[in-house]
């Protein structure tokens, strides 16, 4: 088992990574506040992993409420959030109840938001089951639901008590989801960790073949990057925004097409290529650099062209981005491969040109 820590003073917490961890309830027990927990999952992950996990907790003397949500990004909304509250209230879950999110980023983001608000805040634990959630969304305390006008627009910063990433569960993940997770892995290399990017370039085939050691290494190195950034800037006043490379373009694709049509990681991949193209227009990246960004995403089986929404629609959707300040759109771009910046330097004409060139 590999362990990392997210250093946030009295809210610091461990990330435990390894194959088969889900079968060991002892790992969770020290982070449960009282004897009462609610395990919240969805109707795809539940049939695979809920029974054994919940029974393991019950065998350790815990009272377990089980809540099963509908699957998918299209259900990351108020209605599904209310299903969580319905389940908690009807089971009389009190303020000492620890919520456990068992699932991908959709479940994790919603359970985190439920934990932040149920009875003004209860503890929660992340048990991420997709590659994307293991390398990104389960760490750092961003929780949210979507609004029809924008992705993740309603939410809170609320840190989990621990993250338990069992890499064995990635064996049941659909191929397309595995590839979507790789987009966020590649992101860390592009924004701040050139040696990691080189490692990914060398080990991409092993990752795609689900080699256990390669996946554990990718999860650990990704989480280390994420933990460092979150420790430096928990509430995204500055450097944390660099974790959103490709996300402003990507969120426009997700919102523009309707949630769930493109996977989040797919949209981020196409967005990262648009960001690289725009960085070239600002004179920061060479043609060779842009080709390197395109090529690694292509090798990972990710989209290398954005959805054809039209530049006007992209710009309209991008104007809702959370990085807009005083009406000015700020983007995460690359000063170099391995070095991201947050900038308002790109002109509307250049942004438009990159959208048109990359879609």
Strand partners, 156: 143
Nearer to ligand NAD by C-beta: 180 or 241? 180
Q: Could you tell me which stretch among 40-48, 90-98, 134-142, 157-165 binds ligand GLY (CB under 6 A)?
A: 134-142
Inter-residue contact 122 to 96 (CB < 8 Å): yes
* Residue number with CB closer to ligand NAD (144 or 351): 144
Task: Tell me the closest approach of the beta carbon of residue 142 to ligand GLY, in angstroms.
Answer: 5
Nearer to ligand NAD, 136 or 234 (CB): 136
First vs last Cα of the chain: how many Å apart? 42
Q: Which of ligand GLY, ligand NAD, none does residue 240 bind to, with CB < 5 to 8 Å depending on kind?
A: ligand GLY
Interacting positions 220-249 with ligand GLY (CB under 6 A): 240, 243-244
DSSP string covering 286-353: -HHHHHHHHHHHHHTT---S-----HHHHHHHHTT-TT-BTTB--EEEEEETTEEEEES-S-HHHHHH
* Smallest separation, CB 114 to ligand NAD (Å): 14
- CB 242 → ligand GLY: shortest distance, Å? 9
- What does DSSP say about strands 36-42 and 63-69: parallel, antiparallel, or unpaired? parallel
Q: Which is nearer to ligand NAD, 100 or 285 (CB)?
A: 100
Judged by beta carbon, residue 83 or residue 152, the one nearer ligand NAD is: 152
Residues that bind ligand NAD (CB under 6 A): 42, 44-45, 48, 71-73, 76, 103-107, 109, 129-130, 132-133, 136-137, 140, 142, 151-152, 169, 172-173, 177, 180, 264-265
Residue count at the site for ligand GLY (CB under 6 A)?
A: 6
CA distances from 85 to 65, 88, 94, 110, 153 (A): 12, 5, 12, 11, 20
As measured in angstroms, the least distance from the Cβ of 111 to ligand NAD is 11
Give 32's Cβ-side CA count (13 Å radius).
23
- Residue 242 interacting partner from ligand NAD, ligand GLY, none (CB closer than 5 to 8 Å by kind): none
Residue 165 beta carbon to ligand NAD: minimum distance, rounded to whole angstroms: 11
b/e burial code for range 303-325 (CB count within 10 A of at least 16 → b): bbebbebeeeebbebbebbbbee
Rounded to a whole number of angstroms, the minimum distance from the CB of residue 44 to ligand NAD is: 3
List the catalytic residues: 120, 142, 184, 226, 236, 240, 244, 247, 251, 264
140 binds ligand GLY (CB under 6 A): yes
**Cα(207)–Cα(193) distance, integer angstroms:** 18
Say whether residue 76 binds ligand GLY (CB under 6 A). Answer: no
- The residue (of 170 and 191) whose beta carbon lies closer to ligand GLY is 191
Is 185 a residue that touches ligand GLY (CB under 6 A)? no
Q: Considering the complex, state which of residue 114 and residue 132 has its C-beta at the smaller distance from ligand NAD.
A: 132
Interacting partner of 99 out of ligand GLY, ligand NAD, none (Cβ under 5 to 8 A depending on kind): none
Q: For residue 275, which of 358, 192, 205, 209 has the smallest C-alpha distance? A: 358
Beta pairing class for 142-147 and 331-336:
unpaired
Question: What angle (nearest 5°) sits at the alpha carbon of residue 245, between those of residues 243 and 246?
Answer: 140
CB of 33 to ligand NAD, least distance (A): 22
CA dist., res. 314 & res. 1, Å (int): 43
Question: Which of ligand NAD, ligand GLY, none has residue 71 at its interface (CB below 5 to 8 Å by kind)?
Answer: ligand NAD
Dist. CA 152–CA 182, nearest whole Å = 21
In the block, tokens 């250093």 appear at 7
CA-wise closest residue to 224 among 232, 28, 113, 248: 232
Q: Could you tell which of ligand NAD, ligand GLY, none binds residue 225, using a CB distance below 5 to 8 A set by kind?
A: none
Residue numbers of the site for ligand GLY (CB under 6 A)? Answer: 136, 140, 142, 240, 243-244
């Amino acid at each position: 088992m590999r362990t990392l820590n997210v250093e946030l003073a009295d809210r610091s917490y461990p990330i435990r990574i390894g194959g088969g961890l889900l079968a060991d309830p002892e790992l969770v027990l020290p982070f449960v506040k009282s004897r009462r927990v609610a395990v919240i999952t969805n109707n795809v992950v539940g049939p695979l992993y809920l029974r054994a996990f919940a029974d393991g907790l019950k065998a350790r003397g815990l009272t377990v409420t089980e809540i099963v949500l509908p699957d998918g990004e299209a259900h990351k909304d108020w209605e599904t959030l209310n299903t969580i509250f319905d389940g908690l209230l009807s089971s009389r879950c009190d303020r000492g109840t620890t919520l456990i999110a068992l699932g991908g980023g959709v479940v994790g983001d919603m359970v985190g938001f439920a934990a932040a608000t149920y009875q003004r805040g209860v503890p929660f634990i992340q048990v991420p089951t997709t590659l994307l959630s293991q390398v990104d969304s389960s760490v750092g305390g961003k929780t949210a639901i979507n609004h029809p006008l924008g992705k993740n627009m309603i939410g809170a910063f609320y840190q989990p008590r621990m993250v338990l990433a069992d890499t064995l569960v990635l064996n049941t993940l659909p191929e397309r989801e595995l590839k979507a997770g790789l987009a966020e892995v590649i992101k860390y290399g592009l924004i701040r960790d050139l040696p990691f990017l080189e490692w990914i370039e060398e080990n991409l085939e092993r990752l795609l073949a689900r080699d256990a050691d390669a996946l554990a290494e990718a999860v650990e190195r990704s989480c280390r990057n994420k933990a460092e950034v979150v420790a430096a800037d928990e509430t995204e006043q500055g450097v944390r925004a660099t974790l959103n490379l490709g996300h402003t373009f990507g969120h426009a694709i997700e919102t523009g097409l309707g949630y769930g049509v493109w996977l989040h990681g797919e949209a981020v991949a196409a967005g990262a290529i648009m960001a690289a193209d725009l960085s070239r227009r600002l004179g920061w990246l060479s043609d060779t650099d842009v080709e390197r960004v395109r090529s690694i995403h292509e090798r990972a089986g990710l989209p290398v062209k954005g959805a054809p929404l039209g530049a006007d629609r992209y710009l309209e959707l991008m104007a809702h981005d959370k990085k807009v300040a005083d009406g000015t759109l700020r983007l995460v771009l690359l000063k170099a491969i391995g070095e991201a910046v947050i900038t308002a330097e790109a002109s509307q004409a250049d942004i438009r040109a990159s959208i048109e060139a990359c879609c």
